[in-house]
Amino acid sequence: MKEIFERRSIRKYTGKPIPKEAVDKMLKAAMAAPSAGNQQPWEFIVIDDKTIFEGIMKCHPYSYMLKEAQLAIVICADLERETHIGYWQQDCAAATENLLIEAQHLGIGAVWLGIYPRKERVNGLKELLSLPERVMPMAVVSLGYPAEAKEPSNRYDPLRLHFNKW
Ligand SMILES: Cc1cc2nc3c(=O)[nH]c(=O)nc-3n(C[C@H](O)[C@H](O)[C@H](O)COP(=O)(O)O)c2cc1C
């Protein structure tokens, strides 16, 4: 559980490459996520091509950390595999969070970059990555070994809790 509490967004990276086994573990963790009716609408694009990083930075205004990232993983949904309509974002978000927690477990720094529902980012990535019409990009996770350390944040707030009724 400590990975959940210690995870922070890491936006500075060393140049150390991420081994393939680590990438496999992050993808396995992502695909272990729950999904509505177990529909598993997710698809993942693993990117190590710096020219594609440049393309993402052009259509996403808050993705500068990709300049130094070793890898990026794009979490997408294949909308034709959505049997429980309206849940794909929640399914892909669960997969993304699992991926971040596994990255933390492996000592890899990561940050979630939101794509959906920003139209210009969605359209930019669709074109850049040649996504079929039915495939919707939801998030990019930027990855690299950390070159910054952050304290765990404590966001627990008992005032947000309600029992039985509001
Ligand atoms: C849906 C979503 C979209 C996000 N988009 C961005 C982004 O575009 N760029 C960025 O640097 N961080 C992004 N973040 C990371 C948040 O800024 C970060 O999680 C938040 O500030 C809390 O900090 P922490 O992750 O270090 O705990 C995003 C996080 C989520 C969940």
Return the domain boundaries, the chain: 11-149
Distance, in Å, from the CA atom of 84 to the CA atom of 106, rounded to the nearest integer, reads 33
Summarised one tens digit per residue, pLDDT across range 141-166 is 999 999 999 999 999 999 999 999 99
Q: Is 14 in the pocket of ligand 1 (CB under 6 A)?
A: no
Ligand 1, atom 20, lies closest to the CA of: 9
pLDDT at position 21 is 98
Give the CATH number of domain 11-149: 3.40.109.10
pLDDT at position 160 is 97
Task: Find how far residue 31's CA is from the centre of its chain.
Answer: 12
Average pLDDT, the chain: 98
Summarised one tens digit per residue, pLDDT across range 84-137 is 999 999 999 999 999 999 999 999 999 999 999 999 999 999 999 999 999 999
Instruction: Give yes or no for a contact between 103 and 143, defined as CB atoms under 8 angstroms apart.
Output: yes
pLDDT at position 32 is 98
Q: Is 112 in the pocket of ligand 1 (CB under 6 A)?
A: yes
- Ligand 1 atom nearest residue 61's Cα: 8
- Is 143 strand, coil or helix? strand
Instruction: Give yes or no for a contact between 72 and 56, defined as CB atoms under 8 angstroms apart.
Output: yes
Distance, in Å, from the CA atom of 125 to the CA atom of 104, rounded to the nearest integer, reads 26
% of the chain at pLDDT higher than 90 = 99
Q: Is 9 in the pocket of ligand 1 (CB under 6 A)?
A: yes
pLDDT at position 44 is 98
Q: How far, in Å, are 83, 95, 139 from residue 35 at the CA level? A: 11, 9, 16
Distance, in Å, from the CA atom of 52 to the CA atom of 55, rounded to the nearest integer, reads 5
Distance, in Å, from the CA atom of 131 to the CA atom of 125, rounded to the nearest integer, reads 8
Q: Rounded to the nearest whole angstrom, what is the distance from the C-alpha of residue 114 to the centroid of ligand 1?
A: 7
